[in-house]
Amino acid sequence: ELYYDIRESMLTYRPDSGRYAGAVNISLQVRRDSVVVIRKEWLVPHVVADSAVLGLGKQMVGLESVALPPGDYTFVVHSYDVNEPARKDSFSFPLPVTLYPDDREVLSDIELSTSIQSSSNTQSIFYKNTLEVVPNASRLYGSGLSMMYYYVEVYNLARGQQKSNLTVHTAIVDAAGREVLTKDKSKPRTHNSSVEMGTMNLSALKSGTYLFRMTLLDSAKNPLATTGKKLFVYKPGSPVDPGLNHGQETGDHR
């Protein structure tokens, strides 16, 4: 899944029937070696009634999903402003896709979000397992957005003869590797796969780069699986956490 957000104030608008219209063209290529295996292109239109609202900093959030067999891929994304095509941007990143093992407990990638709520709207692009999960593509939190939501899928809980409850340990890790916020909860092996979701209040954190990490522990507190995602906290005028570039992200790709 590719998540993106576009600040509505960054578009170029043209008058249109008493309103103002803008749009972004986005194209996606998925390459394996030198071969393009998936190619997609779509338009993200946006209309506002009054240009004065553009100073509010609202985001247009989107999601595009592709299905890929295991392998090593490169995602290449290009975008441009439809009303001013010279305004453009692009980026690429490697994406290894691996199969989940079926002989041990596994955690998926973490989806960091701005909100998660119960939903029956299966037509929503953000719908997952009876939930509407709105991604935070920038992974930026801080002033105006201190509550971090997270969504993770858990697999192979009912394998073998294992019956004892598990513990889900979640932590915000700072640049020095210290767990500055933590939370534990018990997880029964009721189903073979399930969803872990929740929140972490980041209001006490300084500006800086952090790692959100989830670890699945057995009854003896031995780690069975772990996954992580980097996030950023920015508060204008606040002290900065000294190590801005915390190292790694871990996890598998859904």
pLDDT digits (tens, 9 = 90+) for 56-107: 678 899 999 999 999 999 999 999 999 999 999 999 999 999 999 988 999 9
Give CA 15 to chain center in angstroms.
Answer: 34
How many beta carbons lie within 10 A of that of residue 81, not counting itself?
Answer: 19
161 — pLDDT class (breaks 50, 70, 90): low
Is residue 251 predicted with pLDDT exceeding 80?
no
Torsions phi, psi for 51 (to 5 deg)? -65, -15
The whole-number pLDDT of residue 245 equals 47
Closest CA relative to residue 179, chosen from 235, 228, 114, 116: 228
